[in-house]
């Protein structure tokens, strides 16, 4: 039986896959499932993929990226002394995928399904088909990218099946260079009801914002402009992209580049921190633009957000937490099935290939966290509440590593206790307590940042790491859930299972943190801010507030729960009154 391969020929990246034993499998090229859609010409040789991408900033005149934007145009591109059509350049990418897969699989790649954006015109589709033919491929079918994603979604093995009736899905596809949004009706056949987007918006723009941030830093710190220095800019751009990716799983990243060449015989070392908050500020306008496009697509399909059954997040940039949050704001949190944003279009194309050859396709199983994993922390500005704050949300594909920043509550606080909870409720009593980990701290001023990282692997192990940022205090522990993809909680007989604290940087004993304040409390911070303001404005009641703060701090320091409660109540009452005035 012939094999029909599925190809996602993307603006930024491409991907090739095949339905094998009823399962869509992405084939790795150069050790990665994702191949940059970049072609570079070095003398007679044509370089494609990551190596071409590495050359892009050093040899821009020899390199072509994002050729997909020109598909269907009757232009010719002059590159390194050659004159090439967009079809020919795309054909180089397809030839490379064909060649690499043939080398690995001992199988010829001839028949393919290629995906294109839903908005592609006839001319653009014809050009894509032509590119396939130039690469020696037989293009069995051209299908829409959102439809491929939907096909993949249809084959997902979900806890809550998609149902047999018609489904309305919105595909939000935010890639490296383009943003597409499509509204689909998924039934016997998949119909695109509306499709819109912005062909000039994507992760590259976000990288540029971070690059500007680095340039500003270099301007201020080193009093020079790195822009004329191409190799330095190439490295900074790569570092900017890595920072963006890092911020999808951590609340801040360190951008570090040593020996950046910024002139004849001159190099500089840079090291700067970027927080997720700052990054979100930088890209806020772009995110709002995607919100507008989603509204436009819905209005073109004469639908409201509540009509949409499923929101499919496609494209590497949908891993950015602020993007997920935006979708949650618009559609709620429960309508996002776990489709793999990078690979689901290619996998959908492989399923389509399999359907054409009459193969049966099994339901695809994706390992996801069945429940959110979080930690208990004090939240709330004026009213102190102990809540479970999620670190790894439910339905996140595993393996996954995520971290969040919390803060100490008391000055000179000498320990923190991290409670690992599983569940969807913010109420700790309604979640399952998996375990606790304590870390002794170097006593520091209040609001000292504590980084908590959870990693959850395919074997169901939750690796917890707690770190006092800025000090060399760290503790790690493994929680063995033992049953993959199952609830961790049902392994617990009692709610305070101790963890394996094997890798401790200290003496290994669990800190006696029961009496210590929890992480994250803004009460003191708020109270101090209020005190500052009162003092600045010469308010005579400042003394009273200072006294209340001191009493509260004293109680926290003593670890006397009753005294803490009483002092806290008085402080909160005072702050409430202040707010009401």
Give contact residues for ligand AMP (rule: CB under 6 A): 10, 12-13, 175-176, 203-204, 241, 244-245, 248, 315-317, 319-320, 342
Phi first, then psi, for residue 186 (nearest 5°) are: -105, 115
Nearer to ligand AMP by Cβ, of 55 and 447: the residue is 55
Shortest Cβ 278–ligand AMP spacing (Å):
15
Pair 420, 432: CB distance under 8 Å: no
Residue 319 or 473 with smaller CB distance to ligand AMP:
319
Supply φ then ψ for residue 421, to 5 degrees: -115, 150
Long-range contacts of 155-162 (CB under 8 A, 24+ apart): 155/24, 155/351, 155/361, 155/362, 155/363, 155/364, 156/337, 156/338, 156/339, 156/363, 156/364, 156/366, 157/363, 157/364, 157/365, 157/366, 158/337, 159/370, 162/186, 162/309, 162/310, 162/337
Of the pair 3, 66, the CB lying nearest ligand AMP is at 66
Spatial distance between the Cα atoms of 442 and 438, rounded to a whole number of angstroms: 13
Q: How far apart are CA 418 and CA 416, in angstroms?
A: 7
Query: For residues 237 and 214, what is the distance between their CA atoms, to the nearest angstrom?
Result: 9
CB 48, min distance to ligand AMP, A? 15
What residues contact 262, with CB distance under 8 A and at least 6 apart? 218, 222, 224, 226, 229, 232, 268
**CB 494 → ligand AMP: shortest distance, Å?**
38
d(CA 134, CA 132) in angstroms, rounded, equals 5
* CB nearer ligand AMP, residue 72 or residue 176: 176
Do residues 256 and 242 lie in contact, with contact meaning Cβ atoms separated by under 8 Å? no
| H or E segment and range at residue 351 | helix 344-356
Q: DSSP characters for 413-461? A: --EEEEEEEESS-SSGGGSEEEEEEEEE-----SS-EEEEEEEE-TT-E
Minimum distance between the CB of residue 316 and ligand AMP, rounded to whole angstroms?
Answer: 2
Rounded Cα–Cα distance for residues 60 and 578 (Å): 61
Whichever of 101 and 344 has its CB closer to ligand AMP, that residue is 344
Looking at the Cβ atoms of 368 and 378, the one nearer to ligand AMP is 368
Question: CB 343 → ligand AMP: shortest distance, Å?
Answer: 9
User: Pairing mode, if any, of strands 400-407 and 310-314?
Assistant: unpaired
User: Please, what is the minimum distance in Å from the beta carbon of residue 450 to ligand AMP?
Assistant: 24
Instruction: Kindly state the smallest distance separating residue 208's Cβ from ligand AMP, in Å.
Output: 11
CB of 440 to ligand AMP, least distance (A): 33
User: CB 308 → ligand AMP: shortest distance, Å?
Assistant: 21
Quick one: 245 or 303, whose CB is closer to ligand AMP? 245
| Closer of 140 and 404 to ligand AMP (Cβ) | 404
The Cβ of residue 504 has, within 10 Å, a number of other Cβ atoms equal to 16
Between 287 and 477, whose beta carbon lies closer to ligand AMP?
287
Whole-number minimum distance, CB 352 to ligand AMP, in Å?
19
Identity of the residue, 316 or 423, whose beta carbon is nearer to ligand AMP in the bound complex: 316
């Amino acid at each position: 039986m012939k094999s029909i391969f599925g190809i996602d020929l993307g603006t930024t990246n491409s991907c090739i896959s095949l339905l094998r034993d009823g399962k869509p499998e992405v084939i790795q090229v150069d050790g990665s499932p994702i191949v940059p859609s970049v072609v570079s010409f070095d003398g007679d040789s044509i370089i494609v993929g990551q190596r071409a991408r590495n050359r892009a900033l050093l040899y821009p005149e020899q390199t072509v990226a994002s050729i997909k934007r020109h598909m269907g145009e009757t232009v010719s591109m002059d590159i390194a002394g050659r004159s090439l059509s967009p079809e020919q350049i795309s054909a180089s990418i397809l030839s490379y995928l064909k060649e690499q897969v043939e080398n690995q699989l001992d199988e010829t790649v001839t028949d393919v399904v290629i995906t294109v954006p839903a908005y592609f015109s006839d001319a653009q589709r014809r050009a894509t088909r032509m590119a396939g033919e130039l690469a020696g491929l037989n293009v069995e079918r051209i299908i829409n990218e959102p439809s491929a994603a939907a096909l993949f979604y249809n084959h997902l093995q979900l806890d809550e099946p998609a149902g047999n009736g018609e489904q309305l899905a919105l595909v939000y596809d935010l890639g490296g260079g383009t943003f597409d949004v499509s509204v689909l009706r998924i039934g016997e056949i998949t119909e695109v009801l509306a499709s819109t987007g912005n062909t000039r918006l994507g992760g590259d723009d976000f990288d540029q914002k971070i690059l500007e941030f680095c340039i500003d830093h270099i301007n201020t710190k080193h009093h020079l402009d790195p822009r004329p220095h191409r190799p330095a800019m190439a490295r900074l751009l790569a570092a900017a992209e890595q920072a963006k990716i890092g911020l999808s799983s951590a609340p801040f990243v360190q951008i570090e580049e040593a020996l950046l060449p910024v002139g004849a015989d001159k190099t500089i070392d840079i090291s700067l921190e970027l927080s997720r908050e700052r990054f979100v500020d930088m890209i806020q306008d772009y995110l709002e633009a995607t919100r507008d496009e989603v509204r436009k697509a819905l209005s073109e399909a004469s639908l409201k957000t509540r009509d949409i059954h499923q929101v499919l997040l496609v494209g590497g940039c949908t891993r950015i937490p602020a993007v997920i949050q935006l979708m949650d704001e618009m559609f709620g949190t429960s309508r996002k099935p776990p489709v793999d944003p990078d690979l689901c279009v290619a996998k959908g194309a492989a399923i389509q290939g399999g359907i054409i050859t009459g193969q049966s396709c099994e339901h695809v199983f994706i390992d996801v966290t069945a429940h959110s994993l979080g930690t208990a922390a004090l939240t709330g500005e004026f009213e102190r509440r102990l809540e479970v704050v999620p670190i790894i949300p439910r339905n996140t594909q595993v393996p996954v590593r995520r971290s969040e920043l919390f803060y100490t509550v008391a000055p000179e606080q000498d320990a923190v206790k991290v409670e690992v909870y599983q569940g969807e409720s913010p109420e700790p009593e309604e979640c399952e307590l998996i375990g606790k980990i304590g870390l002794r701290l170097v006593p520091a001023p209040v609001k000292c940042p504590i980084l908590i990282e959870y990693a959850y692997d395919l074997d169901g192990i939750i690796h917890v790491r707690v770190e006092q940022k800025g000090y060399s205090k760290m503790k790690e522990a493994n929680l063995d859930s033992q049953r993959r993809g199952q609830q961790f909680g049902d392994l617990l007989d009692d709610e305070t299972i101790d963890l394996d604290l094997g890798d401790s940087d200290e003496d290994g004993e669990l800190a006696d943190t029961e009496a210590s304040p929890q992480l994250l409390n803004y009460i003191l911070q708020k109270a101090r801010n209020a005190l500052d303001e009162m003092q600045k404005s010469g308010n005579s009641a400042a003394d009273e507030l200072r006294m209340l703060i001191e009493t509260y701090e004293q109680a926290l320091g003593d670890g006397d729960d009753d005294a803490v409660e009483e002092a806290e109540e008085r402080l909160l009452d005072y702050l409430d009154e202040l707010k009401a005035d």
